[in-house]
């Protein structure tokens, strides 16, 4: 099987490539259909997914049976200040990949986000709940989802949230860095969601990809917490002596509107391939235990 991973140097793309190469993840062996897969990883400097001609040319020169679209503009505040770039990457880029995957007869796994929801509620959002994004990032990702559904017949859209991994920048690394440098943190305590380890997500993307259970999935760490709770657990697991203080969203304003509540329910996973996502605290502890070797599985 020939596989393409866009966003190949990001935290999820890197994780996918790693476990495809070694044949297993922290959660176990990957599907047997993928054990001998040939993997091509590209990032923005190698393939501009927003350029339709470039994407068409790239697919015409290569054969792929399966495509993982992990490329995205994920800087939420940056999307607010550069709406056109957000649209190009998150919406038009998704469309271009979907069009070429369909022409190639390839399956497409497209990674999306909890930000497609309004953030208003008190119970986890299901896959069938109405999307109502409030930020440019969320709106651009929501349009990308619609393009994938319109232009590709063999798609899996997988929404995740609060992602962190061994590669790339993320909340976990930022909190640890500031905690070590300053010894005191102030983190919002009125926004709730699901921290997600990239190793867990990548494993489930591969499980889903070998099936014909097409559709929309939610895939996050199990359990709900605030950013403040998440930060406290990071500081504890990192072994940093740091004071973590809660604050409100109003006390810590940002250019983009953040969801107050964006926890996701995994109904589609439970009804198809099974839900083996770990509790977010367990997965975070494993991240710190394994990060010195880059999360390489034995």
Q: What's the average model confidence in pLDDT over 206-216?
A: 98
Q: Place 298 in a pLDDT band, splitting at 50, 70 and 90.
A: very low
Written as six digits, the tokens of 224 are 């709900």
Residue 237 buriedness (CB in 10 A; 0-12 / 13-18 / 19+): middle
Please state the separation of Cα 237 from the chain's center in Å.
Answer: 22
pLDDT at 294 (0 to 100): 66
The number of CA neighbours under 13 Å toward the Cβ of 71 is 32
Q: What is the mean pLDDT of the chain?
A: 96
Contact by Cβ (8 Å): 58, 106:
no
Dihedral angle computed from the Cα positions of residues 50, 53, 56 and 59, in that order, rounded to the nearest 10 degrees: -80
- Domains of the chain in start order, with CATH, are 2-169+194-222+262-278 (3.40.50.720)
Q: What is the pTM of this model?
A: 0.96
pLDDT at 295 (0 to 100): 62
Contact by Cβ (8 Å): 136, 88:
no
Instruction: Measure the CA–CA gap between 258 and 192, rounded to whole angstroms.
Output: 10
Is 137 a catalytic site residue?
A: yes
pLDDT at 296 (0 to 100): 62
Q: What's the average model confidence in pLDDT over 62-74?
A: 97
pLDDT at residue 111 greater than cutoff 50: yes
pLDDT at 253 (0 to 100): 87
Give pLDDT tens digits for 235-291. Answer: 999 999 999 999 999 998 899 999 999 999 999 999 999 999 999 999 999 999 998
List the one residue out of 76, 90, 81 whose CA is nearest residue 141: 90
Give pLDDT tens digits for 10-28. Answer: 999 999 999 999 999 999 9
Written as six digits, the tokens of 64 are 């792929």
Q: Place 292 in a pLDDT band, splitting at 50, 70 and 90.
A: confident
Sign of CA dihedral 33, 34, 36, 39: positive
Q: What's the average model confidence in pLDDT over 197-208?
A: 98
pLDDT at 129 (0 to 100): 97
pLDDT at 145 (0 to 100): 98
Identified catalytic residue from 115, 137, 147, 287: 137
Q: Taking the CA atoms of the chain, what radius of gyration do you get in angstroms?
A: 18
């Amino acid at each position: 099987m020939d596989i393409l991973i866009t966003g190949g140097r990001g935290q999820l793309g890197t994780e996918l490539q790693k476990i495809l190469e070694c044949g297993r993840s922290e959660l176990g062996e990957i599907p047997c259909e993928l054990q001998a897969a040939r993997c091509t990883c590209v990032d923005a400097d190698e393939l501009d997914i927003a350029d339709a001609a470039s994407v068409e040319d790239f697919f015409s020169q290569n054969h792929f049976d399966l495509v993982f679209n992990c490329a995205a503009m994920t800087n939420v505040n940056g999307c607010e200040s550069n709406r056109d770039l957000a649209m190009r990457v998150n919406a038009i880029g998704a469309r271009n990949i979907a069009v070429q995957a369909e022409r190639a007869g390839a399956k497409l796994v497209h990674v999306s986000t909890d930000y497609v929801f309004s953030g208003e509620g008190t119970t986890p959002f299901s896959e069938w709940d109405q999307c109502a994004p409030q930020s440019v990032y969320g709106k651009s990702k929501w349009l990308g989802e619609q393009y994938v559904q319109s232009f590709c017949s063999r798609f899996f859209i997988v929404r995740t949230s609060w992602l962190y991994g061994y590669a790339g920048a993320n909340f976990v690394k930022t909190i640890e860095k500031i905690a070590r440098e300053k010894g005191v943190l102030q983190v919002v305590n009125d926004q709730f969601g699901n921290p997600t380890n990239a190793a867990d997500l990548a494993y489930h993307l591969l499980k889903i990809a070998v099936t014909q259970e097409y559709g929309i999935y939610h895939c996050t760490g199990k359990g709900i917490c605030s950013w403040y709770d998440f930060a406290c657990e990071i500081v504890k697991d990192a072994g940093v002596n740091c004071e973590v203080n809660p604050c409100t969203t109003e006390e810590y304003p940002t250019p983009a509107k953040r969801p107050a509540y964006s926890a996701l329910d995994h109904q589609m996973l439970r009804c198809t391939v099974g839900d083996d996502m770990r509790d977010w605290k367990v997965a975070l502890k494993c991240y710190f235990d394994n990060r010195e070797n880059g999360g390489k599985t034995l």
